[in-house]
Amino acid sequence: MANFESHIAWRYLFSKKGHNAINIVSGISAVAVGVVTAAMICVLSVMNGFGALVEHMFSEFDPALMIVPTTGQTLRTDTEPIASLYAREDIEAVSMQLEQTALIRYKDHQLPARVMGVDDLFTRTANIDSIITDGFYSVWDGAFDRAVLGRGLAAQIGINAHFTGALHLYAPERTEKINMLRPDKSLRHEHAFIAGTFAVNQVEYDDQLILVSLPLAQRLFDYDEHTATALRIHPKEGVKISNLKSQIAYLLGHEYRVLDRYEQQQDFFRILRIEKLLTILLLVFILIIASFNIIGSLSMLIIDKSEDIRILSHMGADESTIRRVFLLEGWFISSLGTICGLAAGVLLCLGQQHFGWLTLGNGAEYIISAYPVQVLWWDVLLVAAIVLALGFAAAYYPSRKINLA
């Protein structure tokens, strides 16, 4: 019986109708569904592309895993659980970082900045050389303390890698009261010479961050050599990040949090997911409007095929069988648009990915020259499921109006 219903519905899809308008409306319905489907694939793929681009930029600086204290700002590295990390065979490097806010000054310019002290293993947890835009990376040259600034921060304070003057850093005394008569005496002071600038192309890094040696940061913020605000973990090649994360979290207990790259930039990726969800909802709303064409074309077809309905009824087809015929007819219209839309959307995205048809502008003004695109097959399956479900719902309403009585 199912084959009979689908056979009749398939013939109705391509057969000539009694009124040419029905063919036109049916064609418009399929085209509308196809266009919206292709648009959903393209928009989601572009959003995936931008997300992957930013994720790559973050990954140049952020470690694979980061350990931070659950409460407070600092952690001790001379405890037994932390010390055991250095002996693990699945970890290539454990790097300490100490990050707090300080005032930086160069000649007559001064502004607050996030000062991050890093140790010698920092370069094994971050691909820092790939994001250096001027000068070179160095926080200690064997004789003098060096500093590497975010490109935006360097521009704000009026300095670059070729300046020879010292950059001064100030932080309030952590363990002493501020002298209200001489507040300048309550500040700890260090200085460093600029070595280079870097760019992650993210404001929280480029406009706010300065890298210095870990000993300088510990002196500036008045901490001993076993104090850090976070530990940066770089696993050995082939180690699965999720497994290592769960093992370290179990080892360290509830006093520490182990963050992967997504959790380190949790706010950004949460906003990206919300934007993607809102985009899907907006396109689904447009698709619902397009689905009204299916309701109209199917209603017109039912009227046009009223004689066929009577013939099928006299031949023994019951009401539910005839309803399924027209339900399948409407779903075939939606499916045809879905298949064409998916194919068009994927081909457009792959073409943009390989040829860069749509450009962003001059390469000197933008990070990339063309819109980034990343086709995720679960997005394709999600779009197909949404479109086919809405197509089925649109066909269900008019088919239920068939009444043989």
Q: Helix or strand or coil: residue 15?
A: coil
Gap between the Cα atoms of 341 and 290, Å rounded:
13
C-beta neighbour count of 148 within 10 angstroms: 27
319-355 vs 20-59: helix crossing angle, rounded to 10:
40
Contacts of 129-133 with C-beta under 8 Å, sequence gap 24+, read 130/60, 131/60, 131/61, 131/198, 131/199, 131/200, 132/196, 132/197, 132/198, 133/196, 133/197, 133/198, 133/199
2, pLDDT greater than 60: no
More confident residue, 190 or 9: 190
C-beta neighbour count of 225 within 10 angstroms: 12
Amino acid of residue 280: I
164, pLDDT greater than 90: no
Report residue 20's pLDDT band, with 50, 70 and 90 as the boundaries.
low
C-beta neighbour count of 212 within 10 angstroms: 26
Tell me the helix, strand and coil percentages in the chain, rounded to 5.
55, 20, 25
More confident residue, 319 or 237: 237
In the block, tokens 């394709």 appear at: 380
Q: Which residues pair with 121 in a beta bridge?
A: none
Report residue 150's pLDDT band, with 50, 70 and 90 as the boundaries.
very high
Report residue 4's pLDDT band, with 50, 70 and 90 as the boundaries.
low
More confident residue, 304 or 213: 213
Helices (H), 141-265: 151-157, 203-206, 214-220, 241-252, 261-264
Q: What pLDDT is recorded for position 224?
A: 94
What mean pLDDT is predicted for residues 300-316?
Answer: 76
Gap between the Cα atoms of 296 and 294, Å rounded:
5
Q: What pLDDT is recorded for position 17?
A: 54
DSSP 359: B
